[in-house]
Every structure is written in structure tokens, then in C-alpha cells.
Amino acid sequence: MSVLDSALPPRIALVGNPNCGKTALFNALTGSRQKVANYPGVTVERKIGHFVSPLGRRVQVIDLPGTYSLRARSPDEEVTRDVVLGRFSHEDSPDLLVCVADATNLRLNLRLVVELKRLGRPIILALNMMDAAEKRGCRIDAAALSAALGVPVVPTVAIRRGGVQPLLEQIDGAMAMASDAAADAAENSAPCGWSEPSSRDLRAYHQEVEGLLAGCVADAGLPPLATRRVDAVLLHPVFGLAFLFLVLFLMFQAVFAWAEAPMNLIDGAVSGLKDWVAATLPDGALRSLLTDGIIAGVGSVVIFLPQILVLFFFILVLEATGYLARAAFLLDRLMGGVGLHGRAFIPLLSSFACAVPGVMAARTIENRADRLATIMIAPLMTCSARLPVYTLLIAAFVPDRPLLGGLVGLPGLVMFALYAAGILSALAVAFVLKGTVFKGAREPLLMELPAYRLPNPRDIALGLFERAKVFLARAGTTIFALMIVMWFLASFPGAPEGATEPAIQYSIAGMIGHALEPLLAPIGFTWQIAVALVPGIAAREVAVGVLGTIYALSESGDALQSSLAGALAASWSLPTALSLLAWYVFAPQCVATLSVVKRETNGWFWPAVMFAYMITLAYGASFITYRVASALL
Amino acid sequence: MSGHPTPETGQSPGGRHLGELKKGERARVTGVDERGVVTTLPEGELERRMIEMGLVEGSHVEVLHEAFPGRDPIAIRVNEHTLALRRAEARAVLVAPAA
């Protein structure tokens, strides 16, 4: 270890089975002092946080993806293995491993502990969910377990921050010992000796665990009866599937219903700000940039924050309760019909919020063909960035007519149809892919169904906070910058003397739009849409902002008062609007999605294929929609 | 390795596998033998995964739930935890009636 390294804070890593409460413990240790290098939904990357120990030591904590073994099966488990073994080139292995074990399920959890102990690294075992174990009548002798394993054992209830203080004290003690050892021997940073265990080794670990359990667990307690009773309904072949579809329906319903009031608030605030700036500043380029460019553009994107948070709220809660694994179980056979793995459900569900975490969540699928098939269809799930486009066009063109006696409205039905179109085309694409390029048997399903648990509001809130931060950072950087560029392109050069058309017609954006128009005329797009589509590839929701800017700059006098939806309804034909909706079902995904696909597949080939196939589908769907709608209407 | 000796394998009286158990049936695992199971995994991998998920000689199992359609996959209790797997792969787990 170099002199430089010793100045770094000591690092501890949290390792354990999936669902053992690692992330809750991480939150209890670090609070809000954490940096998430990944997207919420499913833990697929390292999360790093820090805390100050009782002895005043600043300690860095890494939360690793859950695993049953260091024999990593999937890319996310490889992250865990490589961090624990110190295989990442730029960092040593952690100074201390905190193994988190679910006390209600010791047999499976101790197996990993036994494997980790073989590494010879300093270890502390956190026996998590002790309250639930005791409630079940499970009696674990922590002192005996500690003696038998030869590592400190601390009972914790991470979800209520129970046992955190004793754990911190243990960490301090272990750190002191580790740094003494490091002072004695410089080989602390040597890579761990580890080789993949054979099935014989695994059986030996199992025997060791049986021995530990016999010596340290006086009473194994009752199995989780409540979970079993609930599952009798929720995993029922008929009621279970019906419940799953009900949950999904409620989720999308809530995205609209719950988000409406906060969206109106944001809308009011944005227009208020715009009016205030317009009233305060003198007429000129600066005022136009602020009101038409930045406030109109960024405001039309920020307004969708409530919908995105509602969607993520559902995903985080379903994940925390343990229901997502059930959904994968229920859908495995049905999704197998198009060759997908049941586990693909989780990345695909995340993709409804955003394809980026969806593509990353596909890391939990081990088999490369299954994983690629999932990644390729993930962007067909209607992500929340497409919501602004859908919402705007529906508001402009679909009359609010109640159907079925007011039970559903026509706008809601159209929205549902758009989501359904995305899902059905995804299934069709998966079917084609699995029948051609990704032929072969599916990866086995071997998935733990965790006991049901009440989600901790604090952990959900932290997840939502993280999501809001990511979204607003994007609105404040990428989208902000794009808006300034678009305003500039749409404003310069100005209209010549005696011009009859709105100024934007003569601007650079106008020229780009007019240049692209012949290409897009067959699918009914106007030059304004052409202008909006270009930055829409960088970030889909920007298209709405650009349309906002274009129409704000095109209007004058009375028309300026009307909303963007009103302006569109007045200037587009219905077939054009339908064609644009069809385009956005397949819309060439944003740059962020393409770059995450590049990262996850290690090359440009798959993102290129994705872009090509989606733009082909989008053009084809728009062409058919426009032609059919023009003929019929 | 897949060649690990499992004396109770195969021809033991009432030799059944987990894949053919019905809902509600209980059994004891007598061996893990992946031969005859079609999988994408390299040799020996399915056996190791089964052991890692607790399906090892001596474990107690019970079929709790069956999905739709075709009563597949199944959810089983393995000692204290619950595991979902497909019947095709469950064939690798040899069982005897619970004592």
C-alpha cells in the first residue's frame, strides 16, 4: 500500500444475499450522505456513501449487488465479486467486509458467509432482521455463532436503525486491527486468493453451515406463514395474474390522477415566472431567450417530474415489498411464449419510467442472448420521457369524452392504446429476435421469492429523492443547454424587412426544418415537427420544449395567449397528430439510452442495430397511420 | 463437478424428481444430477446453482404454488426459504418421500 493510499478513508463493503436488507443497512449507516452511481429500481451498480464512526473515523461504505455466491452468474454479481476480490484495477479490495445476513433465513445466508470467510479478509457479520426472526420464535445465539465462525456478529434491525450503534463500534474495532495489521505487513493489498468452488466444495460449505446452525440456533422458528397465505392468493394461477394486471392498471392510472395537481402547480409557477420576466425586462433578445427559450423550454420538461416520481414510487414499493419477484414468477411462462425470461419483467417495468435503468437492470439476466433480447426491446416500453409528447398531443387532439358511463375517458383510452402498442410491438420484436438471432433455450429460472415486507418510507423517500435529483439535473444541464441552442437557431437570423411570415420561418431552425420536410412529408410531418425531432433524439421530452419555443416565437398578438396544445390543434391536421403519436411509440431512442446500450454490450454494434430497427419501425408506423387516417378522415 | 458421487441417485426405490411433484407434496432431496436436463449452462453449472440455492442432499422441500399455464414454473419451500424454478430444471433434483 503506498503512502498516498493510506491517506484515503478506510473502505468497507456490504455483501450479502439479495433481499437481506443490505440497502436498508446502507441507508441507516450513511443517511443522505450517499452517492448513487446507478439508477434506482434495482441495485445494479455500486453505491458509495460515507459516515463518521464513533471514534471520529471517516469511513467509506460500498453497497454491492446481492449475490448468493462469489461465483458470479450475471454481470451485476460480477461487480460484487470484483470489488470483494479487489479485481478492479483502480482500487484495492475493501479493508473490511460487512456480511449482511437475513436472520430469518440463516441457512442460505450463512452459506455465502462461509464462502467469504475463506478469503481471509476481516469480516463482521450483521444478523439483520432480528426482530422478524424473534417474532417467528427463532432463537439465535449470536455469541456462539461468533465463536464458531471466528468473526464478530452483531444483531441488527436495519429498517428501524436497530443495532447500528453496536455495529459502528465493531467497525471501529475492526478498523483499528486492520490498520495495525497493515502497519505490520505491507501485503495487505495483495489480491485475495480465491478460486471457483466445485460442487464438492459447495457441499462442504453446506455441511459447515449445518454444523453452525446445529450449534447456534436453539429454535429455527416457524416458516413465514403470513407470506405463504398471501401467496396462496397472489400466486394463484387466475387471481394472481388478475391481481398483477390490476396493480399495473392502477399504477398507470395513478401516474395521471395523482400527478395532475402538482403538475398544475408547476404549470402555474412556470407561467407566473414567464409573465414576471416579461413584465420586468425590456423587450429584446434577452427577454425572448429567457421567456421563450429557457422558461418555456425547461418548464415544459420539469412539469413531468410528478408523473415520473409516481411511476418510480410504484416500482420502488413493489420492489421493497418483494412483489416484483412474484411478478416475474407469474409471467415466466407467458413471457416464455415469446422467448423471454421471467426476470425480463423487472427491466421492462423499469423501462416504463426510463429505458436507461431498464437496460442496466437487465444485468440480472445471466444468459447473453436473453439479456440482449431484453435490452433490445426495453426502449419500446413507453418511457416517461414520451409522456410529455403523448399528453400534449392528446390534450390537443382527443376530445375529453366520457366512455362507459364516465368510468374511463377517451383521452385515457388513447393513452392506454399507446402503451399497449408499445408492449405488443416489444413482444413481437422479442419473438422475431428469439426465433432468429437469439435462438436457443432460455436460461434456467432459479429465483428466491423473499418473504413479504412492509417497505420503509425512508428508503422509498431516499430512492425518489435520488430519482428527482437525476431528472432535475438533466433538465438543468442537457435540456437547458439544448433549449438555449434551439432558441438561438430559431431566432437567428431575424426576419428580413417587410417579411410577411413569422420570423422563425427565416431562422436557421426554419431552414433545417424546411430541408428535412421532403423526407418527412410522406408521413405528414410539418417543418416544425422536423425541427423538434432533431433535438428529440438527444432527449425525447425536448421535442415538446422545442415545439413550445417554435410556436411561442411564431405567434403574435392574441394567439400568444393560447396554450401550446391550442396552437397545435389549430395548425396540425388530425392525421399529422396521429402520425406523430405513432412515431413516438417507436421513436428512435434518446442518446442516453443508446450510450447505455453501448456500455452494456461493449460496442457500437447493438446500439446501431437498435437505432436502425426502431427508426424503420417508426417511419413505417407513421406512414401507415398517416395514410390510413388521411383516407378515412 | 457433475461427477460427484451421489449414492442415492437414480435407481433408489420410488426415485422421483422435483419436477414431477404436485402442489402440496413434500419430499426430501436425495441428490442433484443434471444429466438429462437440457440447459444453456456449461456442464456442472446447474448442479452448483441448485446447491447454492439450498437444493442439496437432505433439504426438505414442499411444492407451494404453481403458475399458469401448464402448472409451471413452481414455487417450492426449501427448508426456510421459498424458491421459484421451472419444472424442466427441477428434474435435476432427485427426491424421496418426506420421512
Indicate the domain borders of chain A.
11-183+198-222, 237-439+455-632
- The pLDDT of residue A407 is 66
Distance in angstroms (rounded) separating the CA atoms of residues A119 and A69: 13
Say if A104 is an interface residue toward chain B (CB within 8 Å): yes
pLDDT in tens, A114-127: 999 988 889 999 99
Closest in B71, B81, B86 to A445, CB measured: B86
For A613, list phi and psi in degrees, rounded to 5.
-70, -35
Closest in B38, B56, B64 to A441, CB measured: B38
The pTM for the full model equals: 0.82
- The pLDDT of residue A43 is 44
- Single-letter amino acid code for the residue at A625: T
pLDDT cut 90: percent of chain A above it: 27
pLDDT in tens, A171-219: 988 888 776 665 555 444 455 578 889 999 999 999 999 999 999 887 7
Cα of A305 to nearest chain B Cα, Å: 36
Q: Decide if B4 and A231 are in contact by the 8 Å CB cutoff.
A: no
Name the residue with cell 453449472. B45
Chain A residues with CB-CB distance to B87 below 8 A: none
Chain B residues with CB-CB distance to A446 below 8 A: 49-50, 53, 83-85, 89
Helix A457-474 to helix A305-321 angle, to the nearest 10 degrees? 150
- The pLDDT of residue B28 is 95
- Residue of A453, A408, A433, A463 whose CA lies nearest to A609: A433
Say if A223 is an interface residue toward chain B (CB within 8 Å): yes
Chain B residues in contact with chain A using a Cβ-Cβ cutoff of 8 Å: 1-2, 4, 32, 38-41, 44, 46-54, 56-58, 64-73, 75, 77, 79-86, 89
Q: Which three cell numbers stand for residue A20?
A: 437481506
Give the three-state DSSP class for A630: helix
Say if A389 is an interface residue toward chain B (CB within 8 Å): no
Closest in B65, B69, B80 to A223, CB measured: B80
- The pLDDT of residue A116 is 93
Q: Decide if A220 and B80 are in contact by the 8 Å CB cutoff.
A: yes
Distance in angstroms (rounded) separating the CA atoms of residues A242 and B1: 43
Name the residue with cell 429523492. A465
Cα of B21 to nearest chain A Cα, Å: 17
Chain A segment 232-251 residues within 8 A of B by beta carbon are 232, 235-238, 240-241
In the predicted model, what is the mean pLDDT of chain A? 83
Closest in B2, B4, B81 to A448, CB measured: B81
Got the DSSP string for A132-148?
HHHHTT-EE-HHHHHHH
Q: Decide if A445 and B44 are in contact by the 8 Å CB cutoff.
A: no
Query: Which portions of chain A are predicted below pLDDT 70?
Result: 1-7, 32-46, 89-90, 179-192, 404-408, 495, 498-503, 537-539, 541, 553-562, 588-589
What superfamily would CATH give domain A11-183+198-222? P-loop containing nucleotide triphosphate hydrolases (3.40.50.300)
Chain A interface test: which of B48, B61, B62, B72 (most A C-beta within 10 Å): B48
Chain A residues with CB-CB distance to B66 below 8 A: 237
Helix A527-538 to helix A508-520 angle, to the nearest 10 degrees? 100
Please count the residue pairs, one from chain A and one from chain B, whose beta carbons lie less than 8 angstroms apart. 135
Distance in angstroms (rounded) separating the CA atoms of residues A334 and A240: 13
pLDDT in tens, A423-447: 999 999 999 998 888 887 788 888 9
Name the residue with cell 436498508. A24
Q: Which three cell numbers stand for residue A57?
A: 473515523
Distance in angstroms (rounded) separating the CA atoms of residues A119 and A202: 15
Say if A368 is an interface residue toward chain B (CB within 8 Å): no
pLDDT in tens, A222-270: 777 889 999 999 999 899 999 998 998 888 778 778 888 898 898 889 8
Q: Which three cell numbers stand for residue A124?
A: 463482521
Distance in angstroms (rounded) separating the CA atoms of residues A542 and A560: 21
Chain A segment 161-200 residues within 8 A of B by beta carbon are 197-200
- Residue of A329, A354, A355 whose CA lies nearest to A343: A329
Bridge partners (DSSP) of residue B66 are: B74
pLDDT in tens, A368-419: 888 899 999 999 998 877 877 888 888 888 887 777 666 667 887 888 889 8
Contact A327, A341 (CB under 8 A): no
Closest in B46, B67, B81 to A330, CB measured: B67
